[in-house]
Amino acid sequence: MNDTLANTEKKTAYILTLPAVLLVFAIILFPIFANVWISFKEVELKDIRIPEPRAKKIVKSIPDEPSKIKILYKLRNSSLLQEIRDVSFKDNFPKNFQIENLDSRCEYTKSSLKCEFGNWPAKYKENFQVIFSINDGSEIDKKTLKSIKPKLDGKSDNILLNTNFTLKNFKKVLFENEFLDLLLTTFYYTFFGTVGSIVFGILTAQMVNQKFFGRTFMRSVLLFPYVAPVVALAYTWELLLDPNSGTLNSLLLNYQIIETPINLLGQKYIEIGIFGFDFKLRLALTTVIMFEIWRYFPLAFLFILARLQAIPKELYEAADVDGASPFQKFFKITLPQITAVISILFMIRFIWNFNKFEDVFLLTGGASGTRTLPINVYQQGFAISDIGMGSAVSIVIVVLLLMFMFFYFRLLGKRVDEN
């Protein structure tokens, strides 16, 4: 009895979870494997279109012979690269049509024309012509004749399915495309974005954790950048930072803080002199990081605020009795209490920032020194239309992330052991 109950429970569970599991498998897990597969192939954007045999039907009347009609098919192979094998052709005609010139490859039975064209090489083109005569003298309706579409069929190799593999893509990714530069840019973007958003998160959480007028309103305002659509925010920032007529530059010029407008999103380096040392700051990258911090610190804020509100008040009361200063309270009580949240946040944000595509794409498109790895996936795959390369870059991203997670967890584990 009990056994059957457990069995039905199992069955129910599988029925209930199956649709979700299947969908996630098809759209998330399968593509990941497909990605590995593609990354070992030389595939370009144009190759992924399956070659099709095509025919354009043109109906022409023949001068002086009203009872006859000429039909011209412009046949072609849609692919410029691959051949199509065993092309078959079929088209239907009205019953009163009689064929005049039957091609040797075709047969005409029951007012339908069937042909076997054999193999078409890439770029194949042929003008195929048929002449019909109408014996009962009725008028020919060209439009309906044209509206009947011929059916074509053929076999072709799917370049994605064959088993030619190559390591070329990975070689190119790792040794040719300034990989180190890409990696460094991605690292800067990810690391400073993550740290910045966490620092701002701590500051704002500490702030909102105090009592003041309009606190709930403040809490929702702080989350605005996180919930609003990226597209809108990125274009607003672009407009604010525009060197020609952007608000920020106009304001700075107006207050005579700067003399010439600064192209915050289009300038790779800016020279800054502090205490006699001149160094180059990656300006566009810094701006993009600022945007990232601005957009994602609310997540850190929320997590840390939730943790802050759970800290027992007695701790602070005891500290007050001991005469601790506000800074001591912050560093001795608050900070140790939120380290766990911060370490989780650091991991989540690091992973997500490492893969962030939209923000940089919309702000700079990867120009002026802001080309990160995800941007490179897009540029390789769709701008240079080398799908194989794009795949290889994304596989590199996954491998790097897995390595990061491995080391991060080992580090965390050690620290937990020590405490």
Partner 1 sequence: MRIKNTIIFSLISSFFLIFLISIWKILATLQGLNINSFNIEVLFILGFLISLAHLGIANRIKSIYKSIIFSSVFVFCDGYLIQKLPIWYNVGVFLILYFFSYKIGKYSFIGLKEEHSTQVILFDFLTLFGILFFSFVILFPFYMMLVTSFKTQIALLVNPLDFSINFGQDIKDLFKSYFVIFKSYKFGKYILTSTIVSVGTVIITLLFAIPAAYAVARLNFFGKTFLSTSILIIYMFPAIVLVIPLYTIFSQLGLRNSIEGLLIVYTATTLPVAIYMLQGYFKSIPKELEEAAILDKLSWFGIITKIIIPLSIPAISSVALYVFMIAWNEFLFSLMFLDNPNSFTLSRAIQYLSGDAETPRQYLMAGSVVVTLPVLFIFVYFEKYLVSGLTAGSVKG
Of 271, 49, 52, 39, the closest CA to residue 174 belongs to 39
201: contact with partner 1 by CB under 8 A: no
**Does 117 help bind partner 1 (rule: CB under 8 A)?**
no
Contact range with partner 1 by CB under 8 A, out of 131-139, 174-182, 189-197, 227-235: 227-235
Residues with Cβ within 8 Å of residue 79, at least 6 apart in sequence? 49, 51, 52, 122, 123, 156
User: How many residues line the site for partner 1 (CB under 8 A)?
Assistant: 97
Nearest to 343 by CA among 389, 412, 416: 412
Q: Which stretch binds partner 1 (CB under 8 A): 65-73, 123-131, 149-157, 390-398?
A: 390-398
By DSSP bridging, strand 53-61 and strand 125-134 are unpaired
Interface residue with partner 1, options 62, 148, 167, 218 (CB under 8 A): 218
x/- map, 298-337, partner 1, by CB under 8 A: -x--xx--x----------------x-xxx----------
Which CB sits closer to partner 1, 113 or 208?
208
Cβ burial of 124 (10 Å; 0-12, 13-18, 19+) is middle
Tell the smallest beta-carbon distance from residue 99 to partner 1 (Å). 35
d(CA 218, CA 204): 10
Taking the complex as a whole, the smallest distance from the CB of residue 307 to partner 1 amounts, in Å, to: 9
Does 233 contact partner 1 by CB under 8 A? Answer: yes
| Residue 225 binds partner 1 (CB under 8 A) | yes
The maximal CA–CA distance of the chain, rounded, in angstroms, is: 114
- Say which amino acid occupies 257: I
Interface with partner 1 includes 34 (CB under 8 A)?
Answer: yes
Q: Which is nearer to partner 1, 132 or 154 (CB)?
A: 154
406 is a contact residue toward partner 1 (CB under 8 A): no
Backbone angles phi, psi at 281, to 5 degrees: -105, 135
Cα atoms in the Cβ-side hemisphere of radius 13 Å centred on 211:
0
By CB under 8 A, is residue 402 in contact with partner 1?
A: no
Q: Which stretch binds partner 1 (CB under 8 A): 47-55, 69-77, 106-114, 175-183?
A: 47-55
Q: Does 112 bind partner 1 (CB under 8 A)?
A: no
The answer to whether 232 contacts partner 1 (rule: CB under 8 A) is yes
- Residue listed under structure tokens 């709930």: 216
Please report whether residue 362 would count as binding partner 1 according to CB under 8 A. Answer: yes
State yes or no: residue 24 binds partner 1 (CB under 8 A): yes
Taking CB under 8 A as the criterion, the residue among 113, 130, 265, 377 binding partner 1 is 377
Q: Which of 147, 164, 256, 260 binds partner 1 (CB under 8 A)?
A: 256
Which region, judged by CB under 8 A, interacts with partner 1, from 148-156, 180-188, 251-259, 266-274? Answer: 251-259
Q: Does 14 bind partner 1 (CB under 8 A)?
A: yes
- Window 150-179: residues binding partner 1 (CB under 8 A): 158, 160
Distance, in Å, from the CA atom of 296 to the CA atom of 190, rounded to the nearest integer, reads: 12
Q: Which residue, 60 or 155, is less far from partner 1 as judged by CB?
A: 155
Q: Which is nearer to partner 1, 128 or 357 (CB)?
A: 357
Which residue type does 102 have?
A: L
- In angstroms, what is the minimal distance from the CB of 21 to partner 1? 7
Asked if 270 is part of the footprint of partner 1 (rule: CB under 8 A), the reply reads: no
Which distant-in-sequence residues (6+ apart) come within 8 Å of 376 by Cβ?
177, 182, 366, 393
